[in-house]
A and B are shown apart, each in its own frame.
Chain A
Amino acid sequence: MGHHHNDEFKLHTPDFERINKKIDRRNFLTKTSLGLGAVALGSLFGANTLYGSEKQATTGALSDDEMQKQILAALPHIAPKAKRVVYLFMSGGPSQFETFDYKPKLVDMFGQDLPESVRGEQRLTGMSANQSNFPIAPSFTGFKQYGKNDTWVSDLLPYTAQVIDELCIIKSTFTEHINHDPAITFFQTGHQLPGRPSMGSWLSYGLGSDNENLPSFIVLVSKNAGGQPLYSRLWGNGFLPTEHQGVQFRSGKDPVLYLNNPEGYDGEDRAQMLDYLKKLNQFQNEGIADPEVDARIAQYEMAFKMQTSVPEVMSTDDEPDDIFDLYGPDSRDSGTYAANCLLARKLLEKDVKFVQLYHQGWDQHGGLPGGISHQCKNTDQATAALIIDLKQRGLLEDTLVVWGGEFGRTVYSQGRLEKENYGRDHHPRCFTMWMAGAGVKPGFTYGETDDFSYNITKNPVHVHDFHATLMHLMGIDHEQLTFKSQGRRYRLTDVHGTVVKDLLV
């Protein structure tokens, strides 16, 4: 069989003898005024290490698989600050006005029509574009200052206010997308249309797993939060290999799909059965020697390990009361946001690379005061508790915590404005999110918006920039982690994104 495939690069083929002769090296070096050209030639004509391992049959140039291997081999590109991420995704688009972006001047402008000069050419959603006026709605809730920098935080977030010195708040995040599906898809995958891998999948693909018994990308969805629908492609692997998809852990008896053995059949029984399966596979593979059989045997072993490790990690039975007290009463009710925050901490302790919590219900087109109070009440304490808990375990140093939604909300009321009741439509041009922990400046606020929180006046941070920064913290140069699909190289940040260095310690 193809004996020549193992040969080294043929330096002295007649072709290259001829080329060698033709090149007057000195002349070449002068002409290109390079000096390094000789080295380049050396590597061209002499080196075989660069590509020495190439043994596989291929019909074209460098195969895509080889290229991908080279890309992964280069990781990490930078010394990572964060080993893991917990992303608290507030689905629906939390209002910046009632949380972090304090706009006291609006109080006097209650009900006034938002000036067209502020609105500019911003397109509006189909829900409020046709309103005959755009009455300014000041926040119904008060704000107070907290922490070493006297940072303004809404009265709806008393617990978060207590950890304000840990937060790196970005008031100037922006996106192009004004509706949920495109905006969330964009935030999770860097593209507004379905089909691209989510950021957790990219991280899993690039960095692999630090825990052999658990997936590297785990998703937790608050139960009964209501609000805008979610869909599992938000944690999908897109064109990356399926093993990098986010695995949803659900509350209840079957936390991972089909994790449980048939009723009555316990782990020991299963272990014995799998032992026989392994032997059967090995017998069947005799004379075939397909490495895929070995791979599958390994996957069955991993599945078996998950059957034990997942229920273990999902169980909070051993947590002491003061931990439940820290996360709040809901943390005893599995599947709630608070319980998921506690669970997230456990997963992070096990070195799961990317844990993403989804909490729905932030889409207050109407009845915002009641709605957002409810949302804050359900999330505030547990969010703060997660930071405190990670910190007290020394995990905050190398864990990045992210909080935010897919866009912000309008200063004007959607529908009727009343003193105690109003709604806000989607607003992509500015909104607040925050990060905490590994590698980001604690007790820091970045970016500014105008008096209407309608436009950014200082230090805009685009979603692509956020992605670039997140990857940077994980040790990845966002421009270098690419994957070739359908003839094109893709990356999380498409062709955009700049690391926001100002946020980094």
Chain B
Amino acid sequence: MRELPEELDYNMHVKPILSDKCFACHGPDMAKQKAGLRLDLSEAAYGELPENEGNYAIDPGDLEDSQVFHRILSEDPDYIMPTPESHLTLTAYEKAVLIKWIDDGAEYKPHWAFVKPEKEELPEVENEDWIKNSIDNFVLAKLENLNLQPSKQADKRTVLRRINFDLTGLPPTLKEQQDFLKDKSPDAYEKVVDRLFNSSAFGERLAADWLDVARFADSHGYTVDRLRDMSPYRDWVIKAFNENMPYDKFIHWQLAGDLMPNPTKEMLIATAFNRNHQQNMEGGIIEKEFQSEYVVDRTNILGDAFLGVSVGCAKCHDHKYDPISQKEYYQFYSFFNNVREAGQISYDNAMPAPTLLLPTAEEESLVKFINEKLTSKEQQLVKLRSDSKAEFSQWLTAGGAAKLTTQTYPSVGLQARYDFDKNELRNALNPKEVSFTTLVNRDKIKEVFTEGKTGKGILLDGDAWLDFGEVGVFRKGEPFTIGMDIFIPQDFKEGVIFHKSLAERMYNFRGFHVYGRKNGTLEIMMAHAAPANAIVKVSKEKVAKGKWTHLTLVYDGSSKAKGLYLFMDGKKLETTTEVDDLAKDILFTQHVETQPGLQIGGWYRGTGFKNGIVDNVSVYNRKITDFEVAVLAGKETWNKVKSNKKTLEDYYFSAVHQSSISLRNELKNERNALSDATEEVKELMVMKESNKPKPTFLLERGNYDSPGEQVFPNTPDRILPMPENLPKNRYGLAQWLTHPNHPLTARVAVNRLWQNIFGIGLVKTAEDFGNQGELPSHPKLLDYLAVSFTESGWDVKKIIKEMVMSAVYQQDSKTSKELLDWDKENRFLARGPARRLTAEMIRDNALAASGLLNKKVGGPSVKPYQPDGLWRINGATYVPDTTDEVYRRSLYVIVKRSVPNPTLGTFDATSRSYCVVRRQKTNTPLQALVTLNDPTFVEVSKVLGERMAKEENVEKAIMITYNKLTGKLPKAKELALLKELQQKELSKFNASISKAKGWLETGFYEINPQLNMPLVAANAVVANVILNSDAALMRR
């Protein structure tokens, strides 16, 4: 039983009990408060009980009068607290603490982590000689208080290996070991530290940790889990750490790079942080549900990564333990809710919008070159018209206009015309071309002819669509016109009128469409991947219902909103532009068998045009003039045009003047060339605000379809009210996080860096600094570090350097059994930090020791060896790399969320499906199988074995390998043991070389055939044994 402290501290001793055992029913969650009582606030706890007149939960200093006292001691199931149903019980110690606290006056204090950290005087210590820097004062003072002694300084080899892994994730090379051992100068260690800080591996080491936080992955997650490439973000993270970007800036860029003044490409890349979350490609999902899910993810990660508060708990109800109400949760949520994104990601693997194009230098110069040509052609076209007025006059004089009067509809550029009058779906221009009505996947069903606008038309049922095969296939650089007579029934509510696409949202609306919105207006869209990479315009006028009307969609090939417009009954509709951001082509290029063309009246899995009729469909491969549209709609006749010279001139230069036509053709070709040049340009998902703010509502019970009151961006007052001068957007939020008065951000950050170096945070629950989190082992040290960090300008390398230069860090990790038992986790730091290498380090250590490691920094992820068939459970195939990419560092190994990499996953690498700030640390038999049998480790053993075979002296060979893998030299008896093993294996392989097959042939690396094979294999076994030993797997 623990002794009751003489002086109770509310935060330290009392609140952990109240929070864990009482707050679920008597805490901040207003909806769940039982009997109207809350114990998290003093005024409420001291006040008269709302449902029990004259009684008080807590009467400070008066046990008799305090209900809490009686209730916690009771054994009456109807009376006792916590109630039996809660399955929570108080231990005797906990009861004693609460009682003593009430008796002492029940003093409340604000939660420690929500109070701004202050630097306190350095604690005084007796053993001043031991102190290397301020960190040591805090740790030693506590140890001296406990009558404990710190451990002696660890030996040079141990410290070198420790610092190497902690700062670079890699082992020291033999030369680095030699150099350090030889360097007898007092600052030998500091020189090593500085060298490691300056190596590019430093950024990789910190990135490996940050990528867990940022839930970085190479696949979208959820069931379909196709791959995507977010590696430019990873490259940015590595670079940011290597360049020692101040941590406040590191936060600002990731949360709001796009909203900061003059964002650079790198700042935009950093915002991919908030697009790393999972995205769903499942066919049946409801867009809104998952749009909301993505915003939830961004909101939760704000809590987990920066605040150290599980804000996610307040999604469905007020937080049960921490002062974050549900409303405040949705205020956070609203910061991230203004992204123009799809809920369902596209079936054709288009990168979900919004994205940033990342052209290579080559691509960039090509695009620039084409754009210059384009501009010049556009200017030429204007000039050509003014230069060619005379030719127009000649044409007029020659009676060119007269010929037009015989046409019932414009003929120049006409590609297809369907009037359905012979109960046929034939293209009048090309009778071989037959369209058909279809339902799903090209299953033809019989079309229904009915009375049309003129002659026959086609009746539509809302599910089937009239499909015109390849008619209507245009690229974004190609002008076109599509017109038709449409009868829209009176009861039409919403649905597609006509389109060129594959389905409704499944393919993110790639192509173009005319859609009748719920409010009666018409939407026209042209998209690569809606809702961001697109043009969207909406008519101001409503569509005519219950009568025939003529719709014409006209497009000039410019990829701009102003070049796409709609006519109703020959009249150009006024529109509002919602999106004008079409950056890539509108045709399908991947995962689609047949390029779809024009379809009318319905689309796959979408709402169509029930009981509508369509007639007289015309498709042109040019932008026809406004007057021609009116003719097509039957609202004008050619006769009129003769009296209007301006209209006639427009027509002439659009349809007759050969030089103009061929120049426009050239322009089209350039535009297509531009599309081609952009097609392969890499895209990265980034954050981008929609120009039209999206209202945010509190979602009742967290349900996307139960909006409650409207909320606006804001931050919780109990943490830090949002300063007035900050913008109420993500940039303001980012600045709020790093505001000098913010109580959490710096503490959370230094704690995680501490965790990185010492294996366990000063606050063990690095993800939770709230009421339910564990208390800091050294609160004053934490605050000292947090304040130093901000004072230094959030200098990451500087604060880490202070940690690793401390005497605490450099202690020997060996200790007495007593101390080990008493302080298993080394919370009091009376010894140096020891821990198993991380998944990445275990693999990288082996690769580095064998010399196979490919140290290339950055770039897309790699695919090392992996057993066949693992990806098959979701229909994918893993094709391992065939070059030395298989030897790249582990942070580059591809992360497919649904199927973890078997090597790394077995050693507790996270799935990256959500933010993780503290990995599990487990010890399982499956881990043994990996380091014994995984081809990566067998190959490493083989390579080491080969190297050993070149050494004449067996002992020396073993010592070198031991040294490479463990950073140490074997003790004499270890050496003898390994030598004995080598001899046994050697005689075994000499007797039967077939036993050595696996040891000699695993992996790409080919050993020198001149060598003695049994010897190589025997050495490989020895190397593998060392690799599997404690000295290799642990960093002590």
B1030 in contact with A285 (CB, 8 Å): yes
Contact A229 B898 (CB under 8 A): yes
> Do B284 and A179 touch across chains, with their CB atoms under 8 A apart?
yes
* A479–B86 alpha-carbon span in the complex (Å): 9
Q: Mark B429-456, 1 if CB is under 8 A from A, else 0.
A: 0000000000110010100000000000
Chain B residues whose C-beta falls within 8 Å of the C-beta of A272 in the assembled complex: 984
User: Do B932 and A303 touch across chains, with their CB atoms under 8 A apart?
Assistant: yes
Indicate whether A256 reaches chain B with its CB closer than 8 angstroms.
Answer: yes
Contacts known (A231-B899, A262-B997); A132 close to B1029, Cβ less than 8 A = no
Is the C-beta of A319 less than 8 angstroms from some C-beta in chain B?
Answer: no
- B residues 920-951 near A (Cβ < 8 Å) are 920, 922-930, 932-934, 938
Interface residues in A261-308 (C-beta closer than 8 Å to B): 261-266, 269-270, 272-273, 276-277, 279-281, 283-285, 287-293, 295-296, 299-300, 302-304, 306-307
Contact with A along B118-150 (1 / 0, CB 8 A): 000000000000000000000000000011100
Evaluate whether A273 and B1021 lie within 8 angstroms (CB atoms) in the complex, with A59-B777, A258-B933 already known. yes
Complex interface: chain A residues within 8 A of B777 (CB): 59
For B70, give its contact among A1, A16, A31, A62 (CB under 8 Å).
A31
Task: Pick out which of these stretches binds chain A: B222-230, B708-716, B845-853.
Answer: B222-230
Pairwise interchain contact B768-A232, C-beta atoms closer than 8 A: no
Counting contact residues on chain A (CB < 8 A from B), the size range is 35 or more
* B1007-1036 interface code vs A (CB 8 A; 1 in, 0 out): 000000000000001001110111101001
User: Is the beta-carbon distance between A269 and B828 smaller than 8 angstroms?
Assistant: no
Whether the Cβ atoms of A8 and B1 lie closer than 8 Å is yes
Q: Which residue of A lies closest to B102 (CB)?
A: A19
User: Is the Cβ of B932 less than 8 Å from the Cβ of A232?
Assistant: no
B36 within 8 A of A: no
The docked-state distance in angstroms from the alpha carbon of A145 to that of B394 is 91
Question: Which candidate, B585-593, B731-739, B867-875, is the interface stretch facing chain A?
Answer: B867-875
Q: A51-B93, A57-B828, A229-B875 are in contact. Are A125 and B286 (CB under 8 A)?
A: yes
Quick one: which of B875, B902, B996, B1024 contacts A258, CB cutoff 8 A? B902
Tell me, in angstroms, the Cα distance from A181 to B321 when the chains sit together: 30
Shortest distance from the beta carbon of A72 to any chain B beta carbon, whole Å: 14
Q: Which residues of B from 503 to 519 have beta carbons under 8 Å from A?
A: 504-506
B62-80 vs A, Cβ < 8 Å mask (1 yes, 0 no): 0110000010011110010
Of A7, A257, A425, the contact of B902 (CB 8 Å cutoff): A257
* CA gap between A456 and B283 in the complex, in Å: 26
Chain A residue at minimal CB-CB distance from B103: A19
Contact A44 B997 (CB under 8 A): no
Taking the closest CB of chain B, its distance from the CB of A28, in whole angstroms, is: 7
B754 to chain A, nearest CB (A): 14
Q: How far is the CA of A257 from the CA of B900 in the complex (A)?
A: 12
Q: Are B988 and A487 in contact (CB under 8 A)?
A: no
Interface segment among A163-171, A242-250, A445-453: the answer is: A242-250
CA distance A166 to B13 in the complex (A): 56
CB <8 Å contact, A1 and B504: no
A232 to B901, CA, bound (A): 11
Please provide the chain B residues from 187 to 231 with a CB less than 8 Å away from any CB of chain A in the complex.
221-225
Q: Is B578 an interface residue (CB 8 A)?
A: no
Contacts of A347 in B (CB 8 A): none
Smallest distance from the beta carbon of B546 to chain A beta carbons, Å? Answer: 19
* Contact A62-B93, Cβ < 8 Å, known A179-B284, A228-B223, A258-B934: yes
Q: Assuming A19-B100, A126-B285, is B924 touching A242 (CB within 8 A)?
A: yes
How far apart sit A194 and B773, CA to CA, in the bound complex (Å)?
22
Known: A60-B774, A179-B284. A132 touches B913 (CB 8 A): no
B894 to chain A, nearest CB (A): 15
Instruction: Indicate if A207 sits at the interface (CB-CB under 8 A).
Output: no
Given A194-B913, A487-B321, A296 and B2 touching (CB < 8 A)? no
Query: Of A132, A290, A425, which is in contact with the most chain B CB atoms at under 10 Å from its CB?
Result: A132
A323 within 8 A of B: no
Partner of A231, one of B91, B223, B906: B223
- Cβ-neighbour of A265 out of B16, B440, B998 (below 8 A): B998
B869 surroundings in chain A (CB, below 8 A): 250, 252
Query: What 0/1 pattern do residues 680 to 715 of B give for CB contact below 8 A with A?
Result: 000000000000000000000000010000000000
A242 & B920 in contact (Cβ 8 Å cutoff): yes
Q: Is B87 an interface residue (CB 8 A)?
A: yes
Nearest opposing residue in chain B for A23, CB measure: B63
A54 touches B440 (CB 8 A): no
Q: Which residue from chain A places its CB closest to the CB of B765 in the assembled complex?
A: A487
Interface-forming stretch among A33-41, A149-157, A349-357, A374-382? A33-41
B1029 touches A262 (CB 8 A): no
Interface residue B116 (Cβ < 8 Å from any Cβ of A): no
Q: A126-B283, A131-B463 are in contact. Are A61 and B977 (CB under 8 A)?
A: no
Which listed residue (A5, A132, A261) contacts B461, Cβ 8 A?
A132
> Are A288's CB and B1036's CB within 8 A?
yes
Residues of B283-308 contacting chain A, CB below 8 A: 283-287, 293
Which of B526-534, B717-725, B816-824 has 4 or more CB atoms under 8 Å from chain A? B816-824
In this assembly, does B885 line the interface, its C-beta being within 8 Å of a C-beta of chain A?
A: no
**Contact check: which of B13, B605, B985, B1031 meets A284 at CB < 8 Å?**
B1031
CB distance A40 to B17 under 8 Å? no
With beta carbons under 8 angstroms apart, the residue of A57, A61, A194, A261 that contacts B94 is A61
Contacts of B85 in A (CB 8 A): 479
Are A488 and B996 in contact, with the CB atoms below 8 A? no
Choose one: A2, A221, A261, A269; the contact of B146 (CB below 8 Å): A2
Q: Hey, what's the 0/1 contact readout for B855-885 against A, CB within 8 Å counting as 1?
A: 0000000000001010001110000000000
B87 contacts A232, CB within 8 Å? no
Task: Check if B225 sits within 8 Å of A229, measured CB to CB.
Answer: yes
**A117 within 8 Å of B (CB atoms):** no
B280 touches A303 (CB 8 A): no
Q: From B818, which residue of chain A is reached at the shortest CB distance?
A: A1
Which residue of chain B lies nearest to A60 when distances are taken between CB atoms in the complex?
Answer: B775
Interchain CA distance A369-B4 in the complex, whole Å: 71
B1025 touching A280, Cβ below 8 Å:
yes
Contacts of A116 in B (CB 8 A): none
A178 sits at the interface (CB 8 A): yes
| 8 A Cβ contacts from A161-185 to B | 178-181, 184
In the complex, the answer to whether A9 meets B284 with C-beta atoms within 8 Å is no
For residue A323, give the distance in angstroms from its CB to the closest CB of chain B.
27
Alpha-carbon distance between A193 and B292 when the two chains are bound, in angstroms: 13
A85 to B1033, CA, bound (A): 36
- State whether A127 touches B605 (Cβ < 8 A): yes
Q: Which residues of B lie under 8 Å from residue A4 when comparing CB positions?
A: 3
User: Which of B176-184, B260-268, B606-614 lies on the face that meets chain A?
Assistant: B606-614
Please tell me if the beta carbons of A284 and B1029 are within 8 angstroms of each other in the complex. Answer: yes
The reply to whether B926 and A303 form a contact with Cβ atoms under 8 Å apart is yes
**Residues B998 and A126 in contact, CB atoms below 8 Å apart:** no
Nearest residue, chain A, Cβ from B907: A242
Q: Is A458 an interface residue (CB 8 A)?
A: no
CA of A257 to CA of B905 in the docked complex: distance in angstroms?
A: 12
Tell me, rounded to whole Å, the shortest Cβ–Cβ distance linking B934 to chain A.
Answer: 5
- Bound-state CA distance A497–B818 (Å) is 45
* Residues of A that sit less than 8 Å from B by CB: 1-2, 4-5, 7-10, 13, 15-16, 18-19, 22-23, 27-28, 31-32, 34, 36-37, 39-41, 43-44, 47-48, 50-52, 54-64, 123, 125-133, 178-181, 184, 193-195, 221, 228-233, 236, 239, 241-243, 247, 250, 252, 254, 256-266, 269-270, 272-273, 276-277, 279-281, 283-285, 287-293, 295-296, 299-300, 302-304, 306-307, 366, 415-416, 425-426, 479-480, 482, 486-488
Can you name 15 A-B pairs with beta carbons within 8 Å? A1-B819, A19-B103, A40-B75, A56-B822, A229-B898, A230-B873, A230-B898, A231-B899, A257-B867, A258-B933, A259-B933, A272-B984, A276-B981, A306-B929, A487-B313
* Given A40-B75, A57-B822, 10 other A-B residues pairs in contact with their CB atoms under 8 A: A10-B4, A31-B64, A51-B2, A126-B505, A132-B607, A179-B285, A181-B280, A258-B930, A284-B1030, A425-B284
* Across the A-B interface, the 9 shortest Cβ-Cβ residue pairs: A262-B998, A487-B772, A229-B874, A125-B284, A231-B898, A132-B462, A9-B1, A263-B998, A303-B928
